[in-house]
Structure 1
Amino acid sequence: MDIPNDITTTIYLISCLIITLGSIILLICYKKYNKTWPKTPVIIIGILLFLLNLNAWYFLSTNYKSKISILASSKPIHHDVLETEFRSFEVPGFSFINQVPNDEESENFDCSSIKMINDNIIESSPLINLNKDDDLKSLRDQLLNMSETNAVYKLCFQDKEHESEEDILKKKWFKFCGSSVWMSNYGVYFTINRIVYTKEGSRNNPTISILSGQIFNRNWEELKDYKFPNSNLTFPTILPHYIDIGKKEKKEIIGSEDPRVILNEYNEDGKTIQEPIVIFNARRTEIKWFRAMHIYRPLLDPVNIIRLSIKDKKRSFREKNWAPFMNSHDNDYINFIYNFNPLRIIKCDLKSGECNKVTGPPFNTLNANDNAGKLRGGTQLIEIPENFLPNDVTEKNKFLLGIARSHNKECGCLIELYRPHIFILSKSKDPEINNYQLDYVSSLLDFNIVPEPWSIGKSTCQDGKSVLIPNSIAYWDKIGNHDYMGITLSEADRSNKLIHIRGLLPYLTQILQKRLDQTDNKDTILLENKLLGDCSTSLSEEYCEKAENLLGW
């Protein structure tokens, strides 16, 4: 059993003091009695004590040096994370990186043939609750004040006179979809949340959804009255963006849903500029109340939003679940995985909102609503830093990592199951090659989390629904011999949680070191992406059966 770092440090400190004291006593005694003491044993004991001293003080110096370096740098990891008690978990996954699929076998493909064996230990911390008891009350109070000048917020106050504020907050208000990104320029996490008010008390059918913003320090302590330079917003706050209320008399499903935040980082006049960009979906009047994806830049313009539209594609009734990522060399555009199976990447202008397909097969001209597959968007994608991987791996390709989610039906005792999946996307560094390729997808993951049931008071099997949604990769960094990743998640659409993951990088490196050169054959890429999507949920029934027994669903 590993001894926690703080206990180890204490043991070493006590040992250092005892050894140092012993060395001093030995030196004094030897000076006093050196004529009667045999020299050889004393010299041997002295050397041993010196080596023990050196070892103990070296451990202490490196241990505290790492903490000091964290505090003195712009790293997103607080030193308390290093002393957290982690528990290991399995990450089964699938990849074609060292073989090419056979088209003839695709109908009855055996996913076990591409299952990756993990020789590394991957661990997770206990869950951290990012929601506070008074969050919703303070946000509701702010909305009440804002409703005096903006009628749209009056939709949040359709309660009966006999209802107490406590009951209203408990039954009709929810805060989830917390998505965070580290802004090293300011040493803070920028976090976006979805605030839901439901007149009927059903979060499945909200009256209105609104965005709120919070700021956390590196230890995930909320900062009050925080302001960014050149912005009039004071956090925490309701974000006052435009909300379309539609033309229907009955007001429901109004506002912004499934928000995600991504960092746009670029160089301007020799300075690194960092800006959070928020992506969400919402219904709009001008497109017949269809649901569309939007861009919102709260620090640049806290009111206006930009609706996204894809050139040469018939508009879908419901656009959602796009997974965003930035290109570090092209900060005027934002990219998305539009769908995983088949894999399509689109690129959207941050100013106009016009999107073009970059890679993937043509869109379905007969059915515009075919974009939802087994894997769907979860977090943003982050580019894996080149210094995280061996040079031979990054010589020709760049790699992006994200966490998708799957929607599984009829799984064990459950009717619906939502779970995260880690995936890796690659692209050639050759600017002439636009193909993106799905290199790896994990099976269903829960990071040692037992999600709370959808309905309070019911067991998971009684409820029939288990929802664990990944919202963001808040950070990923290396300290010493370990890599740490912070992931924000929501359970049952009513919470914002944070979990730290340790040791993911060696596993991913092990996979990518076996990678064959990327193929240019579009048919092969299409087949690989399809089979990886199928294999990602191939173990869902096995997962549900194990969880039902082990977790007492």
Structure 2
Amino acid sequence: MSVPPEFSKKDSSSSLTSAHSDSASKVELHNNKNNILDRVTVFAKTFPRRLFQTIRRNKAYQLLALLLILLQVILVTRPDSITDTVGYYSASFSNPAVVEHKKDLLNVDVSKILRFKRWAKSPVSKNVQKQKFTSKLVTGFVNNIDITKQKLKRKNKKDHPQDSNVHEGYENLASCEDFAYTAPMEHADWSDILQDDLITARREMIKKGGLMAKEVQHESEKDWSEEKIIKEHFFRFGSSAVWLESEECFVMYTRVMYSFKGSKRDDHFSFLRGQTFDRDWNEIKGKRIPYNDMQIPNDIEQEIKLLDAALDQNQCDSLKNKDNEMFHKCQVEHTKNFLKNSKRKEEILSNYFITYPTNVNVPFDPSKNIHKGPQDPRVIVRKTNDMEDPIIVFNMYDEDEKKKRMFAFHPHRRVDPLIKLMIEGHPMRNDEKNWAPFLHEHTKESALSRGTLHFVYSLKPLEILKCSLNDGKCEVVFGADTLGLEKDNSYGEMRGGSQWIKLPDVLPTVKDKQIWVGFPKIHLSRSACRNHYYRPMLSVLVESNGVYNMDLEVPVLDFGLDVASWDMKGSYCDLLNVLNPNNIAYWDVVNQDPHTKKYEDYLAITMSESDIFSRVMVIRGVLDYILGAYKEKEIKDNFQVDEESPIILRKTLKCIADYASEQAKEYSESHPR
């Protein structure tokens, strides 16, 4: 069909007009762009000169420029004012939050994240970093070796031609050398003895009254000085400390034992003593920390100010040179009211704050039997979005069952702070102790719930408990029967020591896994020192989809110490030689070499010697030591039970036991009486 001429002309004219209009618009737009570009170019060329001239003429601008330069320097070096969150996200483009495999942790670069760390909140002080450290080779044993890779590795070793048959039985093929892993670790030459004023602690107990006040004053002490009573009848050990970031201090809880017979092994009762310390382990006296479950009234600050004014010893000074009689009467009245107002102030504050140092208010009856009260305290901090809640775990004689049971105590809570822990559907021992606590990331948080704690109940075989902090009910969530392992893979000499903590949070997590590090203890009987030998261990605990295993275990970790003898007359190894791990106070990373991926990390642990005193020891290089095991050894990513699993566990257990016995023997021979 043809187009009519009139329509054809009209459309053609319209098209030409439209095309001309579009072309003109494009030219105009192009010219505008060129004009803008020219202006920007001129501005870019002249702005620095104009800015420099303005700064030269104006001192305020000079100061502003100087501040901007200083801010840039701070950001490049160590920006304390930047929050951890900002720092994390600014560096997270190159560093994953989750890695696929444990070995991937070897390739992580966190050096940028560390530049944004809030060092004011870190427990690692400058003094600690300046200490002299001694390096020592530390031997551990890995449990979860990949059998196939291990066989091939042995097959390819020229010095083991007899291992050419890769199908040979694992028990015959593998030796302790295959499981052993040796690498350096450093400990500070400085090690502080943690002190306390037990005279004040005893006075506080007597002042409070009740059964404790009566029991702590034995008739044999009637003519003794306070100093002699403390020296002869009080023993202090088992100090467990942990860092509270919100308060920027350590809280520490220590077992204080009272024995009117003067014997460490025949105590009448024990109580817990709480203290606070700064990051250099100087005690902070009078430290007040608010209870987590108490709402502080708005008017309490004003009431405290009024009481402080009433307690002011200088309030009578205005009368001193005006009226001697009135001045004297004022002083007498002030003295009469001082104790009353002081007591009133303490009563008010004690409702809302715990004040350190203090005798921890764990209720028990000290008047019956012996060995009463809390023993072997361990402390762990449960963090929620708005608070840090320390939890003390200890064993104590239970009046109802007439047996030792485990308890959890919340020192920073006023309401129902004490909880008895009971295992449901599982036989309990007469003396329950050495439960080592840890926090599981899948614990659900709730404003109405205190949450849960997990415990390593037994190490050989490995058994894990999960306990409610609301009612104290515990269940076995992992045990030997969980995987159908043989009962003969047991070793009672390994026991719970410190709490277990996760790898430093600057590291990414491993997909579907949780990794903890703890310091259990080994107790060898009749193998060294004539009777009993106690030493810290180091272990790496891994969980994946509900299955737990130990990837690495160091049988003996003594830091080269000459441990005090039981009678405190030397360091000889006789009868009992006791160095016990108590608590990990902190573990923090301060630096990383971005090229070698080596870390500068510090871990502080409190330990007790000979049940008489406690010390803090700082270790450097724990993180490199642990990660190095995954580099040097063919450790499987997951622990799977098969026909060879019991053989592996039995073999490594023998290696651990033999190595520990050899270390004990060497110490005994080098420290004769």
* Closer/same/farther in 2, CA of residues 153 and 281 from structure 1, 3 Å limit: farther
Q: Which residue identity is paired with 1:283?
A: Y
Quick one: which of 362, 365, 374 aligns to 1:241? Answer: 362
Question: 1:159·1:199 contact (CA, 8 Å) conserved in 2?
Answer: no
1:397 CA drift (Å):
2.2
1:327 CA drift (Å):
1.6
Quick one: which of 487, 493, 498 aligns to 1:374? Answer: 493
1:245 CA drift (Å):
4.2
1:109 CA drift (Å):
7.9
**Distance (whole Å) between structure 1 residues aligned to residue 393 and residue 585 of structure 2:** 15
SS at match of 1:92: strand
Counterpart of 2:308 in structure 1 is none
4+ aligned runs moved over 6 Å, structure 1 = 61-71, 101-105
Quick one: which of 307, 312, 316 aligns to 2:429? Answer: 316
Q: Which residue identity is paired with 1:112?
A: E
Q: Which residue identity is paired with 2:474?
A: C
1:151 aligns with 2:211: yes
Q: Deviations over 1:150-208 (max 9, x none)?
A: 21342222141233332221121011110011111111111111011011111112100
* Closer/same/farther in 2, CA of residues 501 and 552 from structure 1, 3 Å limit: farther
1:129 aligns with 2:193: yes
Counterpart of 1:469 in structure 2 is 580
* Closer/same/farther in 2, CA of residues 380 and 185 from structure 1, 3 Å limit: same
Quick one: which of 399, 403, 422 aligns to 2:538? Answer: 422
**Distance (whole Å) between structure 1 residues aligned to residue 571 and residue 242 of structure 2:** 34
Equivalences for residues 149-548 of structure 1 within 5 A: 150-160=210-220, 161-230=222-291, 231-245=352-366, 248=368, 251-267=369-385, 271=386, 273-287=387-401, 289-301=402-414, 304-330=417-443, 332-362=451-481, 373-385=492-504, 387-388=506-507, 394-428=510-544, 433-457=545-569, 460-461=572-573, 463-481=574-592, 482-513=600-631, 514-521=634-641, 528-529=648-649, 531-548=651-668
**Distance (whole Å) between structure 1 residues aligned to residue 663 and residue 616 of structure 2:** 23
**Count of matched residue positions in the alignment of Structure 1 and Structure 2:** 467
1:319 CA drift (Å):
0.4
SS at match of 1:460: coil
Question: 1:227·1:234 contact (CA, 8 Å) conserved in 2?
Answer: yes
Higher helix share: 2
**Distance (whole Å) between structure 2 residues aligned to residue 155 and residue 203 of structure 1:** 17
**Distance (whole Å) between structure 2 residues aligned to residue 208 and residue 76 of structure 1:** 34
Gaps of 5+ in 2: 1-72, 81-110, 152-167, 292-351, 446-450, 483-488, 593-599
SS at match of 1:122: strand
Question: 1:488·1:498 contact (CA, 8 Å) conserved in 2?
Answer: yes
Counterpart of 2:123 in structure 1 is 76
CA RMSD of aligned residues (A): 3.1
Q: Which residue identity is paired with 1:82?
A: Q
* Closer/same/farther in 2, CA of residues 303 and 497 from structure 1, 3 Å limit: farther
**Distance (whole Å) between structure 2 residues aligned to residue 329 and residue 414 of structure 1:** 46
Question: 1:127·1:449 contact (CA, 8 Å) conserved in 2?
Answer: no
Q: Deviations over 1:324-371 (max 9, x none)?
A: 0012331510000000111000000001000000011359xxxxxx99
Question: 1:195·1:210 contact (CA, 8 Å) conserved in 2?
Answer: yes
Q: Deviations over 1:408-458 (max 9, x none)?
A: 122344321000000001011xxxx21111111002111122111111225
**Distance (whole Å) between structure 1 residues aligned to residue 231 and residue 493 of structure 2:** 33
Question: 1:444·1:536 contact (CA, 8 Å) conserved in 2?
Answer: no
Q: Which residue identity is paired with 2:536?
A: P
Identity %: 27
TM-score by length of 1: 0.78
Question: 2:77·2:115 contact (CA, 8 Å) conserved in 1?
Answer: no
Question: 2:185·2:619 contact (CA, 8 Å) conserved in 1?
Answer: no
Q: Which residue identity is paired with 1:329?
A: H
1:316 CA drift (Å):
1.4
**Distance (whole Å) between structure 2 residues aligned to residue 155 and residue 523 of structure 1:** 58
**Distance (whole Å) between structure 1 residues aligned to residue 411 and residue 499 of structure 2:** 18
**Distance (whole Å) between structure 2 residues aligned to residue 290 and residue 342 of structure 1:** 24
* Closer/same/farther in 2, CA of residues 532 and 265 from structure 1, 3 Å limit: farther
1:540 CA drift (Å):
2.7
* Closer/same/farther in 2, CA of residues 163 and 295 from structure 1, 3 Å limit: same
